[in-house]
Structure 1
Amino acid sequence: MRFRHRAAAGFATLLLPLAGLVGLASPAQAATTATATYAKTQDWGTGFEGKWTVKNTGTTTISSWTVEWDFPSGTSVTSAWDADVTSSGTHWTARNKSYNGSLAPGASVSFGFNGAGSGSPSNCKLNNDSCDGTTVPGDASPSAPGTPTASGVTDTSVKLAWSAATDDKGVKNYDVLRDGTKVATVTTTSYTDTGLTAGTDYSYTVQARDTAGQTGPVSAAVAVHTTGGTTPPPTTGSKVKLGYFTEWGIYGRNYNVKNLVTSGSAAKITHINYAFGNVTNGQCAIGDSYADYDKAFTADQSVSGVADTWDQPLRGNFNQLRQLKAKYPNIKVLWSFGGWTWSGGFAQAAANPTAFAQSCYNLVEDPRWADVFDGIDIDWEYPNACGLSCDTSGAAAYRNLMQALRAKFGTGNLVTAATTADGSSGGKIDAADYAGAAQYVDWYNVMTYDFFGAWAAQGPTAPHSPLTSYSGIPTAGFTTADAMAKFKAKGVPANKLLIGIGFYGRGWTGVTQDAPGGTATGAAAGTYEQGIEDYKVLKTSCPATGTIAGTAYAHCGSNWWSYDTPATIAGKMTWARNQGLGGAFFWEFSGDTSNGELVSAISNNL
């Protein structure tokens, strides 16, 4: 349907059900040929989405239409679609587009806009006549109540209180919403919620209803963590704890944003990289529009426990991430662009970094999902070097690209990048000006994994994520320690370097030798790809039989795998702390166990 591409709400703390958000404009004298009605389809406190519907109630075709209304001072239209909207002071005028001006008898057309402020329209006119065909007076929706405050928090209850909403006809009652779901309707400005689970995070908002039955915008959210439980409230500290969430994981892997909650991982991280946006024609572009913002999740798949509807402005992973951030306000989400498959577009982007940065900003800050993202991550594999294809942009291209991104995104957004971990002499770290670019980024995600794998089909077998070197390592410099040492030697601050952990193993088959360095006949079978398997599978199908260079390996039957375990991750986190690194990141959530044991190992030891 055409409406799915239109601008939707930004800066929401919680996705709201559409029911109860509609308010009609104040009517004047009855119109004889047409009506115009107004609906507030979404509200996020500091702004809202509005929609006007023009209907031909007469017997002859209308060739064009103009809707006029007044907003109170402080309320304005920031963007619009399907109409040309202009203003003079507080008076606003919307005129039809060339394609939707003609209305046959009984036909209707809608146009929408994003607004700032909290006011409602008044003094509506349609083609210089009244907007409403009835003589029944309407009234404005109530304002948003004040942000709730929480007190008396116990293992199973919390007392909430808020300042009253205002309404021209009077406020009738308030709906109390827990994690987006109504749990009570009260006539006072306080409520005690009971029957909660100990040691659990909740998010509360409040919404007012007036005497005419109209509901206004919800308040801002307050986060509550009940006492007790088996784990204390999350404390993230100063280290970055970042995980990649893949847009395609919702398909065959059936791994949804909600799994971050049910696994306990959401309470133990600070950042999420959403992978991936595309880079094509020198611009940032959508990767998978269906997964990103269109797929409808059922109630049991949704973070809020509420099913998506066909007509809500934003669905898909973006809406689920919005709900996750409402539940865990400390989490920041970055949109990652590129990756192994889509890095070929960076060469064209580097030719005009300013235009590239502008395209990325326009996409990340799209009003439909601007509140979801806190910055951008660039995964260029690899500048001035070879990955899936070879790049010849020159050593300075990377620095110029990151400089342009920082200039456009400013200091209020995060700008980060995934980088090579090739610490060999004359290797990929030496190919681009990572040191010069470091002043423009908040941190580098150094991909300290995939050093070795079954692309070398006959071996030798080797751990794919060695922390340090060891006797017999196939390539000198292919270790975490070598990579970090090289970055620091070039002048990249240690606190801008994150150690990378793979939540998967890489393996060979046809192997007879238990220790690393054995020969093989090819890649071991994997669930989704030859030579690679999730940790959650390997921990039981091929348990570790030894460790080498800070990483576990396993020899079972004729297969040989290497992967990180909670124990080796603990060792790597201790090493990262001792090196003064900025934190850790991992690829990616779905490889972990259902109770998030690898995320726990990072969080507990970093």
Structure 2
Amino acid sequence: MRSGTVRRIRSRATAFAVALLLPIGLLVGLATPAQAAESATATFIRTSQWDTGFGGQWTVENTGDTTLTDWELEWDFPSGTTVGSHWNGTVTRDGDHYTATPASWNADLAPGQSATIGFNGTGTGEPTGCTVNGEPCDGSGGGDPSDEAPSAPGGLTVGSATDTSLTLNWSAATDDDGVARYHVFRNGTEVAAVTGTSYRDTGLTPGTEYAYAVTAEDTAGQVGPAGATVTASTTSDGGGDPEPPADGHVKLGYFTEWGVYGRDYDVKDIDTSGSAEKITHINYSFGNVTGGKCTMGDSYAAIEKAHTAAESVDGVADTWDQPLRGNFNQLLELKAKHPHIKVLWSFGGWTWSGGFGEAMQNPAAFAESCYQLVNDPRWEGVFDGVDLDWEYPNACGLSCDSSGYSSMRDMMQAFRAKFGDQLVTAAITADASDGGKIEKADYAGAAQYTDWYNVMTYDFFGAFDKDGPTAPHSPLRGYDGIPQEGFNSDAAIQKLKAIGVPADKLLLGIGFYGRGWTGVTQSEPGGSATGAAPGTYEAGIEDYKVLKNSCPTTGTVAGTAYAHCGNNWWSYDTPETIHGKMSYAKDQGLGGAFFWEFSGDTTNGELVTAIDTGLS
């Protein structure tokens, strides 16, 4: 996890606060209490840092006692430090002076409420001259600059730990006015304000790591810098937590329920390809979301279809009277042979996401229905948790949703409460464009309840734009001529990290297929087209195992490969480009990688092998 830098901005250069070194996204919204009926403060945090730039975030808090109906944030950056892409509002520039205004949904702040505006920037400079609605961002109103904020509390340590609690202790801070209270932050969210120098945090999840920081507030209402951040884990009650892979990374593949039909891909193929020993998790896709609850997709494929001896993992044919057949029984056989594998039941997907909005009218009942289905005694032992593939909360996919910004957080909180120490994960958007889908829902708030996110860093471009321009469907980074800014894997990862999602809860997505156009005469990306290239199952899409022979690669761009053969143009990942993406995942401290889906790989699992060796 990278460190970030937080600074409280005063109107005088002599009154800058001390930098805080924190993990990514930790500690947002440290603001001075109200000075007047209408008062607001703003704090700045560097959420991430890389070779050419940084992720930045402003948190504006209403510290008054009346609703703030609109706000405008202004600051200066020194020459050479600039703002690029931004989210949760609008940022404009006039020379080195910047003005940020909120989106429609975060313009009104009730007393005590806060809103954030994030951005990616370049340079090393820090903001100066910060004002909110024309007043200094520290809430002082231009008061006595000699009145210093408290020092950072020292010596933060974790004492006793149980399955659901952690005890924190720290040394007292010093201040010229005297310390009134301490603010305790867990994973960037304040969880307590106490007068002493210890705190017991309860209601936690067994076997889970948490990050803590503490700040001091003086009797004048000034909040000082945080002391050193510490991480600690609750103890495990022995159930549900996955065995970590040898290299510490999650390596997850989707198995499609319908693949046993036309694709003729069985659970046994995960074993015979050599992939089973190289993965850690399987997402079984998909269950449906309808009528406000989780339901089975294709019950015949899942629990009824009889497998012959040649189709079975254990080499024994199913019988007509055995209590469980189908894919579920095969998954049990696979887990018996490879006990390190954990399986999650994934609900939703592109086609079946339309029911999430109705289900979220009662999140607790929705979670209860899914828990009962996943843990049905008829297939006991198959599943180790649930994956929620909502495309997309408070945004549009196959259909549009208007559940609200908090919908993602509310869902994951309800599922964590119900599923306890079982795995709870989600597949999420990789749209990092300005105003894009990452901004539409509270993915950062939901992350505290989530074991990890499968970031769908593929399908950025394809023949759904039939005229082109041709572009790689899974670019790792941006490149000159990319059709849409923010449509690349790195942009998505950086934006999610910038808003506070821990890097080790992000899995990089890999497609085991290509997307292609026809009517293309230009070999390099950016050419025009006349439509989708022919595909085995769907125009414009083809498996890697087919493309590697039918249309071998002719070049690479943005960390992935492309191929021009005849008048067709395809982009897809190869073992070589996957190795590059896995190096990126390790460099960024990501939790691992996942892929869609097993049947696109070769019979000897070339792409799974590349993920495994690339993360090792």
Q: Same fold (TM over 0.5)?
A: yes
> Is the CA contact (8 Å cut-off) linking 2:431 and 2:492 kept in structure 1?
yes
**Equivalent position of 2:440 in the other structure:** 431
SS in structure 1 at match of 2:448: helix
Note if 1:530 corresponds to 2:539: yes
1:236, distance to aligned residue in structure 2 (A): 3.8
Alignment of 1:168-187 (within 5 A): none
**Equivalent position of 1:577 in the other structure:** 586
SS in structure 2 at match of 1:602: helix
1:390, distance to aligned residue in structure 2 (A): 0.4
SS in structure 1 at match of 2:536: coil
**Equivalent position of 2:319 in the other structure:** 309
1:460 to 423, 444, 469: 469
Name the amino acid aligned to 2:507: L
Q: Which has the larger radius of gyration?
A: 1
CA distance 1:393–1:235, change in 2 (3 Å): closer
Alignment of 1:459-538 (within 5 A): 459-538=468-547
CA distance in 2, matches of 1:398, 1:463: 29
Name the amino acid aligned to 1:303: V
Q: How many aligned residue pairs are there?
A: 372
CA distance in 1, matches of 2:278, 2:527: 38
1:511, distance to aligned residue in structure 2 (A): 0.1
Superimposed CA distance per residue, residues 434-487 of structure 1 (whole angstroms, 9 cap, x where no aligned partner): 000000000000000000000000000000000000000000000000000000
**Equivalent position of 1:143 in the other structure:** none
**Equivalent position of 1:257 in the other structure:** 267
Q: Percent identity?
A: 74
SS in structure 1 at match of 2:561: strand
Name the amino acid aligned to 1:356: F
> Is the CA contact (8 Å cut-off) linking 1:496 and 1:582 kept in structure 2?
yes
> Is the CA contact (8 Å cut-off) linking 1:451 and 1:478 kept in structure 2?
yes
Alignment of 1:328-367 (within 5 A): 328-367=338-377
CA distance in 2, matches of 1:484, 1:605: 18
CA distance in 2, matches of 1:310, 1:497: 43
CA distance in 2, matches of 1:405, 1:330: 24
CA distance in 1, matches of 2:553, 2:382: 39
1:370, distance to aligned residue in structure 2 (A): 2.5
> Is the CA contact (8 Å cut-off) linking 1:236 and 1:270 kept in structure 2?
no
**Equivalent position of 1:405 in the other structure:** 415
Name the amino acid aligned to 1:604: T
CA distance in 2, matches of 1:441, 1:393: 19
SS in structure 2 at match of 1:561: strand
> Is the CA contact (8 Å cut-off) linking 1:244 and 1:275 kept in structure 2?
yes
> Is the CA contact (8 Å cut-off) linking 2:245 and 2:280 kept in structure 1?
no
1:235, distance to aligned residue in structure 2 (A): 6.3
CA distance in 2, matches of 1:357, 1:575: 35
Name the amino acid aligned to 1:350: M
CA distance in 2, matches of 1:352, 1:236: 40
Name the amino acid aligned to 1:281: G
Alignment of 1:17-96 (within 5 A): none
SS in structure 2 at match of 1:313: coil
CA distance in 2, matches of 1:420, 1:570: 23
CA distance in 1, matches of 2:278, 2:407: 36
CA distance in 2, matches of 1:318, 1:538: 31
1:237, distance to aligned residue in structure 2 (A): 2.1
Name the amino acid aligned to 2:438: I
> Is the CA contact (8 Å cut-off) linking 1:504 and 1:534 kept in structure 2?
yes
CA distance in 2, matches of 1:513, 1:475: 20
SS in structure 2 at match of 1:238: coil
SS in structure 2 at match of 1:383: coil
CA distance in 2, matches of 1:432, 1:591: 31
**Equivalent position of 1:598 in the other structure:** 607
CA distance 1:421–1:235, change in 2 (3 Å): closer
CA distance in 2, matches of 1:261, 1:334: 18
CA distance in 2, matches of 1:235, 1:596: 18
> Is the CA contact (8 Å cut-off) linking 1:453 and 1:464 kept in structure 2?
yes
Superimposed CA distance per residue, residues 405-452 of structure 1 (whole angstroms, 9 cap, x where no aligned partner): 0000002x0000000000111100000000000000000000000000
**Equivalent position of 2:548 in the other structure:** 539
Note if 1:266 corresponds to 2:276: yes
**Equivalent position of 1:387 in the other structure:** 397
> Is the CA contact (8 Å cut-off) linking 2:475 and 2:559 kept in structure 1?
yes
Superimposed CA distance per residue, residues 105-127 of structure 1 (whole angstroms, 9 cap, x where no aligned partner): xxxxxxxxxxxxxxxxxxxxxxx
> Is the CA contact (8 Å cut-off) linking 1:350 and 1:398 kept in structure 2?
no
Name the amino acid aligned to 2:272: T
CA distance in 2, matches of 1:490, 1:285: 33
CA distance in 1, matches of 2:391, 2:246: 30
Note if 1:323 corresponds to 2:333: yes
Name the amino acid aligned to 1:253: R
1:240 to 250, 254, 263: 250
SS in structure 2 at match of 1:368: helix
CA distance in 2, matches of 1:364, 1:522: 41
Query: For structure 2, which runs of at least 5 residues remain unmatched after alignment?
Result: 1-243
Superimposed CA distance per residue, residues 158-179 of structure 1 (whole angstroms, 9 cap, x where no aligned partner): xxxxxxxxxxxxxxxxxxxxxx
CA distance in 1, matches of 2:449, 2:304: 33
Superimposed CA distance per residue, residues 247-275 of structure 1 (whole angstroms, 9 cap, x where no aligned partner): 00000000000001110000100000000
CA distance in 1, matches of 2:378, 2:589: 38
CA distance in 2, matches of 1:295, 1:276: 17
CA RMSD, 1 decimal = 0.8
**Equivalent position of 2:141 in the other structure:** none
1:553, distance to aligned residue in structure 2 (A): 0.1
Superimposed CA distance per residue, residues 275-318 of structure 1 (whole angstroms, 9 cap, x where no aligned partner): 00000011000000000000000000000100000010000000
> Is the CA contact (8 Å cut-off) linking 1:236 and 1:269 kept in structure 2?
no
1:239, distance to aligned residue in structure 2 (A): 0.1
CA distance in 2, matches of 1:321, 1:593: 20
CA distance in 1, matches of 2:378, 2:536: 36
CA distance in 2, matches of 1:560, 1:337: 33
> Is the CA contact (8 Å cut-off) linking 1:236 and 1:268 kept in structure 2?
no
